[in-house]
Structures are given as C-alpha cells and as structure tokens.
C-alpha cells in the first residue's frame, strides 16, 4: 500500500507553490524537490493530479508522440505502446530495453491524449539547468514561511509535522537537536504557535503532532519522551509553548 499521506502532502504543496509569487524557474525547483522527497517513499505516480500546474510552470513539457527523438525508425514500437491498456506508459532512455538504474525513465506517454510528457531534469530536455537539491529542512522552512505569509495554517501544520515525525532521522544522521532548533525549528515553532489547530484535521496520524496524553495518540510523543535523549528533549521543547 502506498504512503498516500506523502502523496497528499506533495500534492497540497504543489498547489500551494502555484499560488505563491516568484518566477516559474523558482517554482520548478521547488516542485522538483517535492518530488525528490516523494520518490524516497513507497508512493504512486501522481503527476497527473497537478498536471495543469506542472505544464504552466514548465516543470513538465508535452509533445506529440511522433516528436520523440527516437520516433523515426521506431514507429512500430510507439504504435504498439499506444495499443496497450495502460493509461500511462513509461519510456526509458533506451526505449526497447527494460528499466534499470542506467536505463531509467525519461518520459511518459498518455495513451488518451497520445502525448509524451517530459519532466524537468530529463536527458530529453537538453541545455537546461539541473535540479538544485535542497535539504528537507531548508525546503520545509521555506514552505512554512511562505504559508505563514498567506496565512495557510494547514500547510504550516503539515510540513511541521512531516519534519518532526518523518524527516530524515535527523537525530541519527544529520545534525544535533540544538543545531536543528537554532537553524530551523526556533522559527518554525514561532510560526506554528501563531495558529489555533483545534478545528484542523491532519492528513493522517503519521502527520499529526499529538500532545502528551492525547486519547487518540499514535504514542510517538510519549515514546520519544520516555526514551529520552535528544529526541525526547526536542519533543518536550517543541510542545512547551513557553520555552524558546
């Protein structure tokens, strides 16, 4: 079963990015980083949920299937793909070989429209800049700041919850809790407590920040505090509104 909560977070975030100010070039970078996070999890292919935004910003380009650079001489192969029952057919670097790490997906064909979609970063889109990967915390803080400007408390909540509960194991692999608080969470906490979430329904329990003793808690809060260490200290710090 796919992690639909990550799919929902990324979809929500791309819809939000579309509302923000800034150039399409900047939005393409944000969208690319959002999909980079989604690709870390067991998620479905969800691009068509926000395809109008992807096309508008230039993150995705659509061409007729006959415009694919390998179409000439391979007409029968492309016609065969159009006859498949699949709604979407993924196209690898070498169109006739199976997927591998060296022969990955570079485009996808939608049979209904007979169009090929090519995302930013594909080798089929030459002479373009590369995706500048952001850390999850840099991306999350940026989105939380922008959401605060637009008073979008849902996105503030969802990204704060993601960074705390599903971020990249930061107590073990990246920086200390004090460093994260100084660089990211001090500001995030200030923004977080600017809103009342009493009437907010989170995406999923995995993206819910439960106070200590909540009846429907997933027990993460209690477990982290009981285990202690940096993680427990951090959770207690974040849940205490008065601590700075």
Non-local (6+) Cβ contacts of 137 within 8 A are 163, 167, 170, 180, 183, 184
* pLDDT of the residue at 174: 64
167, pLDDT greater than 80: no
Average pLDDT value for residue range 121-146? 93
pLDDT grade for 16, boundaries at 50, 70 and 90: very high
How far, in Å, are 22, 62, 192, 224 from residue 19 at the CA level? 9, 22, 21, 36
Percent of the chain having pLDDT more than 70?
Answer: 96
* pLDDT of the residue at 230: 81
- Give the pTM: 0.93
* pLDDT of the residue at 75: 96
* pLDDT of the residue at 172: 56
Q: Are residues 54 and 30 in contact, defined by beta-carbon separation less than 8 angstroms? A: no
Percent of the chain having pLDDT more than 90?
Answer: 75
Sign of CA dihedral 109, 110, 113, 116: negative
Non-local (6+) Cβ contacts of 78 within 8 A are 65, 66, 68, 71, 109
225, pLDDT greater than 90: no
Q: How far is CA 168 from the centre of its chain?
A: 13
* pLDDT of the residue at 170: 52
43, pLDDT greater than 70: yes
* pLDDT of the residue at 18: 97
Nearest to 160 by CA among 185, 180, 178, 138: 185
Non-local (6+) Cβ contacts of 87 within 8 A are 110, 111, 112
Q: Please, which residues bridge with residue 31 across strands?
A: none
pLDDT averaged over the chain?
Answer: 92
């Amino acid at each position: 079963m796919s992690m639909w909560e990550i799919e929902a977070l990324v979809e929500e975030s791309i819809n939000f990015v579309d509302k923000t100010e800034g150039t399409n070039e900047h939005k393409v970078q944000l969208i690319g980083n959002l999909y980079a996070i989604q690709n870390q999890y067991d998620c479905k292919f969800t691009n068509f949920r926000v395809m109008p935004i992807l096309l508008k910003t230039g993150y995705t380009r659509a061409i007729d299937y006959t415009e694919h650079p390998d179409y000439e001489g391979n007409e029968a192969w492309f016609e065969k793909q159009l006859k498949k029952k699949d709604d979407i057919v993924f196209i690898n670097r070498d169109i006739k070989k199976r997927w591998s790490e060296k022969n990955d997906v570079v485009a996808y064909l939608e049979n209904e429209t007979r169009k090929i979609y090519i995302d930013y970063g594909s080798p089929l889109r030459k002479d373009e800049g590369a995706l500048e990967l952001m850390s999850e915390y840099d991306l999350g803080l940026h989105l939380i700041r922008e959401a605060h400007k637009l008073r979008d408390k849902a996105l503030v909540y969802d990204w704060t919850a993601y960074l705390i509960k599903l971020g990249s194991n930061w107590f073990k692999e990246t920086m200390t809790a004090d460093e994260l608080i100084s660089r990211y969470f001090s500001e995030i906490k200030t923004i977080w407590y600017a809103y009342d979430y009493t009437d907010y329904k989170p995406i999923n329990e995995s993206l819910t920040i439960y106070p200590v003793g909540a009846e429907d808690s997933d027990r993460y809060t209690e477990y982290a505090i009981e285990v202690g260490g940096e993680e427990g200290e951090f959770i207690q710090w974040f849940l205490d509104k008065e601590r700075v």
